[in-house]
Structure 1
């Protein structure tokens, strides 16, 4: 009898262990959290729809972690629960008050939506509202109406990452920890819409066709402007013709849609400059954790430049940067062991979620444990190592200039003569593709793809260095400057005696 009881007890312990290690789902959240829905009134009277998940254990108070989003807080209805809460499963188990809010003008929230709402530095009345003021007003309401410990955090990826950045200027005193992840920062210079001024055609066309069409009467969904399906995006857009054809039926016929706004501003004018949140990242008080991915085709620029803007404009800040071998938002996946043809030798998400993200929020919002993470943490592909630095780029890096020379050569020595030229003919009817893959969607692996396939074309110039005599590690931006006299590539790199990875500047320039 004793043996049977012991066996049953051990089986029970095993079942409990399995249950505790299982990935939580809707039923787990229902058992541990209570969901309420609320319209929170902003200073100008506009009401924003907010879903609040509060731990059922009322023996203590909890900090708040919020996300503001244009992508819906669904599922709607207090009886309908999300499958996950917060940035990762570990934090969900930690128990926080998780808050999700439909951004102004989106889904069930009132007001008018604006693509990356221009920030107002000097607000003169309650009618001067932006994402900073909406964040502040939301925090103020939550502090008064939830069972909280007086600490608030915010996070988001991509567009919600922008809302996290936009909540930093003039942040509420209770806002203690903010993590902008792959945040949109300047949609013309480097994020999403235009990449260094080049229109991100396929992504913008697909995204905006369904993002801001007519809203349903109950505010729970949007009707897309149109539905375009194709297996060969290169062929589809080539046959579509001039971009202006998309500004009429059956495409973006609504003159007020965001697509029409973005295509109407093909230069870096006031429309884009006013939406640059980076210049407002001054005097930032909360602890900040900026996260980005080396293989992010959408907002790699945003992560690096958001961190740099805070560093430059907020002396003495508490600001950290994490860059890993991720695509857009890949760090939120359950696991991440490889991408494209690369294998990283470990689950990089396990390290990030356990050692960085969870500890960041636990320390600054709960006062739990420690958070002694270095200023900059980057995963170095090739060596498959997490590297830590006090600044970015590292102090032991230096710029190196490569000059384009005759016979397709790249040299580190400045040419002694200005004489010489190389030319090609470009045919708009036969543009250079960005990838060797034929697809109806973006080839997400193109950020890691060997681009030398394009060098076989007669309308592409290729330049290559001689064989390198020692290995190099790239640590900074690659900038191409075409000044008509000396065309050059600038690379940041550094040498390390304990480990070196080859860098070859041999991709086609186009």
Structure 2
């Protein structure tokens, strides 16, 4: 299951009888024996009359006014007070807060619906959207949940992170601090539903399904086998899946099919475009290996910083997958690094942020970015971002399969491979479990890439062992000089840190080497670019067969040290299945409605001049 609300992360959910439809004021306190909290429930009225189910947890030993820490979720607000202070609340609870969680409209016990996943900021006198629901809820909480000190903070991870962030579009005067964690801004460009216009097929099929098929997290059962790679390969195009399985019961999935290009349907949902002067202190949080929402929180930070004279927008990032900063956070998948970076974030960054703005305690946070740097496994504090001292250096891909900072030699040509949509490159090892089903999905972005290195449709380029540490801090981009024999194509680029072959002592137990770190190929940055959108996101156009074109591929912000003795690898491929839907490699007006005959093999070429642009610090 996708990351749920902060309440549900800490409290086991239990069925609750439906609340009276007209209830508005808090219900009588729920005296859960042994719990450090007293629980109340309320149905909070919105401006259009819809009432939203809300759970209020007061500290049992509360002696005076406290600030409210508020989260909104589509995953179900828990209706049971926790028996102990949850570990990921502990640092906050020491300062004292009234914790509030709310079911979004159309979900669980809240009224309204159906749930649309819309992120549009609407205009007009009677318009309602997620920002107005946040405003109305904050207004009600300050007036009705007594005693409070008149200050409200909002927080959340994933969808609750978005609901915290979107409150900034119409901030209530009592909203004094917000922490959007793994939030998003643009459904089409990146994060949950697409990667630069390429559909996130498995995620759309599983996540959107769980949110729209019914009012709870139950979705339509799709899979008749464990290996979802095989299931999606046999299922056909996204339109085939809609016709065979969803049949209109998952509206956002159908909307994705009907709106393949970056049209007004998607543009009007870029809620962050409405942000103006930054007036609410904001602690944005992202994981460098977030398998769901690695991009959006950075974009909120960048947008806020455009008009932030008081430097209220802050950024925190680390070697985390989706939400793992709310755990000890001392390993990157299979790679232990021995520092509880998540605990340190909660105790040393998050709690002081809210304490200053909601309690008036401590000192004002003063940084642009706090980054737990991978490779060195140390916290770094940057007063500005991007860094002024990061030098852009081109790491060139050579025709002999090497990479180096030396420019191409005269006469260098191309390397090529055959891309076959009937045998696409898997995005993680097979057999492949469904989204959320097993822990390996949560860490797929850290998967050892040796599982595809010698496929004939994957080009690998590797450097000599580094003679010193190489620190890469900032935005990484790829520029492929590439061609295809087809009229449409995808190219996927992966920047990889290759551990030395003698990184660990040779194992002696059966199968241990395959699970070890010697020779491990750790992805640092990975992304896909779809050829039909090279000229324009708004209008798809076919590629000219066999014409070498510059494919610019953004690889996002990172902060990593390639250690001495490690090697740098770059892999290039043309499918990433079924995380990304298959490109038929024949241009069709709507790629999601491609028919079986449209899927054709293509010869792919990666040519001289291809490079990865690295922001290098200190060398």
Residue of structure 2 in register with 1:7 after alignment: none
> Which residue of 2 is the match for residue 213 of structure 1?
213
State the TM-score, normalizing by the size of structure 1. Answer: 0.84
Where in structure 2 are the equivalents of 1:22-421 lying within 5 Å?
Answer: 31-57=35-61, 59-75=63-79, 80-82=80-82, 88-112=89-113, 113-120=115-122, 123-125=123-125, 127-147=126-146, 148-215=148-215, 221=216, 223-249=218-244, 251-254=245-248, 257-333=251-327, 335-372=328-365, 374-415=367-408, 420-421=413-414
Which ranges in structure 1 are unaligned for 5 or more consecutive residues? 1-22, 216-220
Pairwise CA distance, 1:490 = 8.4
Q: Are 1:474 and 2:433 an aligned pair? A: no
CA contact (8 A) 2:67 2:149 kept: yes
Residues 190 and 489 (structure 1), Cα distance of their counterparts in 2 relative to 1, 3 Å cut: closer
- Classify the secondary structure of the residue corresponding to 1:37: strand
Structure 2 unaligned blocks of 5 or more: 1-9, 14-30, 436-440, 482-547, 574-619
Alpha-carbon distance in 2 for matches of 1:392, 1:247:
43
Instruction: Determine helix, strand or coil for the equivalent of 2:296.
Output: helix
Distance 1:431 1:322, change over 3 A: same
Task: Assess, with a 3 A threshold, how the Cα gap between structure 1 residues 360 and 386 changes in structure 2: closer, same or farther.
Answer: same
Alignment deviations for residues 309-335 of structure 1 (CA, whole Å, 9 cap, x no partner): 2112434331111112211001112x2
Change (3 A) 1:418 1:130: farther
- Preserved CA contact (<8 Å) 1:136 1:172: yes
Pair 1:230–1:314, CA change in 2 (3 A): farther
User: Contact (CA 8 Å) 2:37, 2:58: kept in 1 or not?
Assistant: yes
- What residue is the counterpart of 2:612 in the other structure? none
User: Which whole-Å CA distance do the structure 2 matches of 1:412 and 1:140 have between them?
Assistant: 57
**Does the 8 Å CA contact 2:51/2:110 hold for their aligned counterparts?**
yes
Q: CA deviation at 1:365?
A: 0.6
2:558, 2:170 → 1: CA distance? 37
Instruction: Rate the CA distance shift 1:85–1:274 in 2: closer, same or farther, 3 A.
Output: farther
CA displacement 1:422-480 (0-9 Å, x = unmatched): 32211111001112353213533332223244231222222334554543112123322
Distance in 2 (CA, whole Å) between partners of 1:488 and 1:114 is 33
Instruction: Name the stretch that deviates more: 373-382 or 480-489.
Output: 480-489
Q: 1:360 & 1:330 partners in 2: Cα distance? A: 19
Post-superposition CA distance 1:330-379 (Å, at most 9, x none): 1112x222122322222112211111111111121111233445321111
Question: Take 2:560 and 2:212, find their aligned partners in 1: how far apart are those partners?
Answer: 48
Q: Does 1:429 align with 2:428?
A: no
Greater CA drift, 253-262 or 375-384: 253-262
Greater relative contact order: 1 or 2 (C-alpha under 8 angstroms, separation 6 or more)? 2
Instruction: Tell me the residue number matched to 1:218.
Output: none
CA RMSD of aligned residues (A): 3.0
Structure number with the higher helix fraction is 1
**8 A contact 1:376–1:389 mirrored in 2:** yes
Counting matched residue pairs gives: 472
- Aligned partner of residue 445 in structure 2, secondary structure: helix
The match for 1:19 is: none
- Cα distance in 1 for partners of 2:465, 2:340 equals 34
Contact 1:288 1:320 (C-alpha < 8 Å) held by counterparts: yes
Rounded Cα–Cα distance in structure 2 between residues aligned with 1:316 and 1:29: 45
- In 2, the alpha carbon distance for the partners of 1:487 and 1:470 equals 31
Q: Report deviation, 1:287.
A: 1.0
